[in-house]
Amino acid sequence: MGKTLAIRNTGIVYGGANVGLMGAVADGALQNGGEVIGVLPHFLRDKEIAHQGLTELILVESMHERKTKMNDLCDGVIALPGGFGTFEEFFETLTWGQLGLHKKPMALLNIDGFYDTLLQMMDIMVNKAFLKESNRQMLLSGNTIEEVLRKMYEYQAPQTGKWVTKDEV
């Protein structure tokens, strides 16, 4: 993923660590001349997980400030397979889009079907009237980085609001 983004001259903004999948993505981009900006809270830097080779490392005070800064710096979001932190960051930013605070494409890189059941859950939410179909369409997904990037480049934010009205139930 990092190599592909670097070759496409697409910069990366991420959490700034040298570990995990995103650490590997950062390395791949940097090894191929890509720009990589990390946003890391001071307390994580103190745990010695800060990536030392980034184009830029921005230190912030809190996890919330980190998400806000990453959102300010990015043009779109791709989530790789991950745990609680990945879900929390992704869904907060997706909710900001649902509320109209940004119009950026948001995608899941569904490697080996990792997100299949989550995507099924989104469809259930639509069927049970907890989520508008137009808002469901905000959540892009693909099995390859090329598919995800194509969908992101073609993305048009919905024109409808978040709230499901009585008429739509």
Q: Which residues pair with 109 in a beta bridge?
A: 142
CATH of the domain at 36: 3.40.50.450
Q: Report, as an integer, the average pLDDT of 83-109.
A: 95
User: Does the residue 166 lie in any domain?
Assistant: no
CA distance 94 to 111: 20
Quote the pLDDT of residue 166: 56
Q: Report, as an integer, the average pLDDT of 155-166.
A: 70
Q: Which of 73, 72, 90 is nearest to 81 (CA)?
A: 90
Quote the pLDDT of residue 48: 63
User: Does the residue 162 lie in any domain?
Assistant: no
User: Does the residue 42 lie in any domain?
Assistant: yes
User: Does the residue 165 lie in any domain?
Assistant: no
User: Does the residue 72 lie in any domain?
Assistant: yes
Quote the pLDDT of residue 161: 58
CA distance 109 to 143: 6
Q: Which domain does 39 fall in, by range?
A: 2-152
User: Does the residue 169 lie in any domain?
Assistant: no
User: Does the residue 106 lie in any domain?
Assistant: yes
User: Does the residue 157 lie in any domain?
Assistant: no
- Looking at the structure of the chain, the number of domains it has is 1
Q: Which of 82, 73, 77, 99 is nearest to 23 (CA)?
A: 82
Looking at every residue in the chain, the average pLDDT score rounds to 92
Quote the pLDDT of residue 25: 97
